[in-house]
Amino acid sequence: MRTSKRILSAVIALMLAVIALTGQSTVSARNAQLSGKLEIFSWWAGDEAPALDALLSLYKTQNPNVEVINATVAGGSGVNAKAVLKTRMLGGTPPDSFQVHAGQELIGTWVVADRMEPLDDLFKSEGWDKTFPEGLTALLSSDGHIWSVPVNIHRANLMWFIPDNLKKWGVEAPKTWDEFFVVAEKLKAAGVTPLALGPAWTQQHLFETVLISSLGAQGYTDLFAGKMKWTDDKVKAAFTTYAKILTYTNTDANALSDWDAAAAMLVDGKAAFQVMGDWEAGWFLTKQKLEPNTGYGWSAAPGTEGTFDMLSDSFGLPKGAPDRDNALAWLKLLGSKEGQDAFNPLKGSIAARLDSDLSLYSVYSQSAAADWKSNVIVGSLTHGAIAPESFTGKSPDLLVAFAQSGDVDATTAAFQELADSTTAAK
């Protein structure tokens, strides 16, 4: 009896020593005890599912006793998910953790409404103070607290194409919109749609890159900081360019299901180019089995070379999350090197962490990582970095109306009114 007790305490002492020595064991030991459910809410459904699936299966391996509920509401850039989330948050039935863009979408909505838990302790316990770029942590912070965990960095200002098709049509990717107009005439004459375009949010996505090209990185940032008016002549010039670009797009843009339907026009040889974020690289890889450079090509959206229009997907912890401990384990995985390097190579984004293993990433992503270090950074409008939801929720409709009316003066005045009301509401 005494001997077996001694053996048992020796075994326990050994286990404790191992757990104390390796942080990893601490996590596994704790995670094995987690049970119950975990509901993750996002818009990564359908074509956008593979990267999230990789992360969820890692979570299941680490937490075998937790039942994971993958609650997705399809619709690129969260057009539908955000409305469903709002109903749930306001109705007092939040998911355990949800996708939200770093920047104004997070801070200007759920943080100001006091619906989120600060994650300062998590950042401290995980040693994340130097893990992410300072500028990114700033986007996740307000009032001295950090409010979500970033999983990636996406680039919005890219133009995609199929190199073999361009060769066939005898054109090259244009570096400016003026070059595009020349190339577009040639394509049009050959019966090819020069620029594939999807529904309203993708039109705003295109428009923000036109704004960057017309105003430059500083001007674009100034516009959203209220230092430049929407009625400024330079902004009006951007609208004029945008109107001309629209004449080279497919006429059924508003009827397409989403950004990937427009991307399919490139693969099908119906259209030459598409301006879209680099989730398209993830789609080429996971859904089309195309390799960078040989299968698909990219360049900066015309006139935006040297500027990196960024956005970051992050997840937060809503107050009243039903499975708080399980959600914290999710957030830890999300911010970990292992989690980020499993997710991002499939997503087309680069890791938010500074120490990710780039050898796991495609040639495209490696080039994005280099640009992320060397380019001038601006925040995406469409993807929540630079403007609050009260603005981005309404601006796509103004652009759709502009596509019909072509009225630059009325539209820029309407945008200025929207910007004023948004600032007043802050």
- Shorter beta-carbon distance to ligand GAL: residue 101 or 353: 101
- Shorter beta-carbon distance to ligand GAL: residue 173 or 311: 311
Residue pair 381/224 in contact (Cβ under 8 Å)? The answer is yes
d(CA 289, CA 75): 22
Tell the smallest beta-carbon distance from residue 95 to ligand GAL (Å).
17
d(CA 412, CA 396): 13
- Shorter beta-carbon distance to ligand GAL: residue 180 or 315: 315
Burial string for 260-293 (b: 16+ CB within 10 Å, else e) reads bbbbbbbbeeebbbbbbbbbbbbbbbbbbebebe
- Shorter beta-carbon distance to ligand GAL: residue 116 or 311: 311
d(CA 41, CA 71): 5
Tell the smallest beta-carbon distance from residue 230 to ligand GAL (Å).
23
- Shorter beta-carbon distance to ligand GAL: residue 7 or 83: 83
Number of helical (H) and strand (E) elements in the chain, helices listed first: 19, 15
Tell the smallest beta-carbon distance from residue 392 to ligand GAL (Å).
10
Tell the smallest beta-carbon distance from residue 404 to ligand GAL (Å).
25
| Token digits of residue 397 | 């409709």
Nearest CA to 272 out of 208, 203, 189 is that of 189
Q: Specify the DSSP element, H or E, that contains 390.
A: helix 389-392
Maximum distance among all alpha carbons in the chain?
A: 93
- Shorter beta-carbon distance to ligand GAL: residue 78 or 94: 78
Q: Specify the DSSP element, H or E, that contains 133.
A: none
- Shorter beta-carbon distance to ligand GAL: residue 205 or 332: 205
Say which residue the tokens 């704790």 belong to. 30
Tell the smallest beta-carbon distance from residue 77 to ligand GAL (Å).
4
Check residue 176 and give left, alpha or beta (phi > 0: left; psi -120 to 50: alpha). Answer: beta
Tell the smallest beta-carbon distance from residue 125 to ligand GAL (Å).
27
Tell the smallest beta-carbon distance from residue 191 to ligand GAL (Å).
29
Number of other residues whose CB lies within 10 A of the CB of residue 211:
24
Q: How many residues does the chain have?
A: 426
| Token digits of residue 44 | 């990564």
Tell the smallest beta-carbon distance from residue 74 to ligand GAL (Å).
9
- Shorter beta-carbon distance to ligand GAL: residue 259 or 308: 259
- Sequence-separated (6 or more) residues with CB below 8 Å from residue 404: none
Q: Which amino acid is at 394?
A: K
Nearest residue to ligand GAL, by Cβ distance, number only:
76
Q: Note the residues at the interface with ligand GAL (CB under 6 A).
A: 43-44, 48, 76-78, 101, 154, 259, 277, 279, 311, 313, 383
Tell the smallest beta-carbon distance from residue 334 to ligand GAL (Å).
13
- Shorter beta-carbon distance to ligand GAL: residue 277 or 335: 277
